[in-house]
Amino acid sequence: MTRVVLVDDHQMFRSGVKAELGDSVEIVGEAGDVDEAVEVIAATRPDVVLLDVHLPGGGGVEVLRRVLGGARSGPAEGATADQAAPTRFLALSVSDAAEDVIGVIRGGARGYVTKTISGPELTSAIGRVAEGDAVFSPRLAGFVLDAFAATDAPSIDPELDQLTQREREVLRLIARGYAYKEIAKELFISVKTVETHVSSVLRKLQLSNRHELSRWAAARRLV
């Protein structure tokens, strides 16, 4: 079963999430601030950390920075080399401001969902993140499409700074409220391929130096 650590400064919200997730995952730890989170994650080595963006002590980004640190093997992977199973992060927040969303993704989270998400949806998002895939909410997809919109500015690294036509189509469908299965059906591709596209978008999101991304990240001093 997926081992999960819950990081949120609201006790009430944590118990709510626990009740919603029920027996579908194993909650191995909880934390209410940055220091506690870093400690619990180091002690329990969970598969997935459900991470609140706004936390006392520096926010979710600070947790990502301290846990993934300089030792991460690849920014998109979010795993330390010596760890057998890498810990992956799924950001969970009430905020849907671009600065928060993009900031935490660039910090190393594999996905972003808002707290209005339903229990079953959250379970499936956790499962997907645990397997190393990315989880995009419709709103995050919208932000990405906005950020990668065609501009006149020449890109430094076209491979990273532009989305392919296919990735764009996948993101559009996510923004329209389609589930991965529905996207696969719509585009006549397999669910695995949809996941590959989304992961590739996530990588670009984390590594690209596009102006909009750095601006959003800079707005929370996260560059």
Partner 1 sequence: MRSVAETCDDRRVPENPGEAADAPPRLERRADGRIAAGVCRGLADHLGIDLVIVRVAFAVLIGAGVGVIAYVALWLLVPQRSDVRPRRDWTQLFAYGVLIGVLSAFTLTSVTERRALWPLVAGGVGVGIIWQQADPEHRRRWVRNTRSLWIRSVVGAALVIAGLAAFLLQNIQHVGQVLLGSTIVLAGVGVIVTPYLLRMWHDLDDERRERIRSQERAEVAAHVHDSVLHTLTLIQRNAHDPKEVQRLARAQERDLRAWLYQPKADAEQALAPAVRKISAEVEDHHGVPIEVVCVGDCPLDERLGAMLQAAREAMVNAAKYGGGANGETPSVSVYAEVDGDEVMIFVRDRGRGFDLDAVPVDRMGVRESIIGRMERNGGKAEIRTAPGEGTEVRLELKRS
124 touches partner 1 (CB under 8 A): no
72 touches partner 1 (CB under 8 A): no
Min CB(124)–partner 1 separation in Å = 14
163 touches partner 1 (CB under 8 A): no
Look at the alpha carbons of 221, 83, 39, 98 in this order and tell me if their dihedral is positive or negative.
positive
138 touches partner 1 (CB under 8 A): yes
CB 200 within 8 A of CB 165: no
Location of structure tokens 């764009």 = 168
Binding-site member from 95, 155, 162, 196 for partner 1 (CB under 8 A): 95
CB 220 within 8 A of CB 100: yes
- For residue 220, the Cα-to-chain-centroid distance in whole angstroms is 17
Window of 32-40, 51-59, 85-93, 176-184 that interacts with partner 1 by CB under 8 A: 176-184
Min CB(7)–partner 1 separation in Å = 22
| 158-189 as b/e: b if 16+ CB within 10 A | eeebebeeebbbbbebbbeebebeebbeebeb
154 touches partner 1 (CB under 8 A): no
- How many residues of this chain bind partner 1 (CB under 8 A)? 18
Binding-site member from 20, 57, 119, 145 for partner 1 (CB under 8 A): 145
Window of 45-53, 84-92, 124-132, 146-154 that interacts with partner 1 by CB under 8 A: 146-154
Q: Alpha-carbon dihedral of residues 50, 55, 58, 64, nearest 10 degrees?
A: 0
139 touches partner 1 (CB under 8 A): yes
Binding-site member from 27, 28, 97, 219 for partner 1 (CB under 8 A): 97
Q: Using CB under 8 A as the criterion, which residues of the chain lie in contact with partner 1 when the complex forms?
A: 95-97, 116, 118, 138-139, 141-142, 145-146, 149-150, 172, 175-178
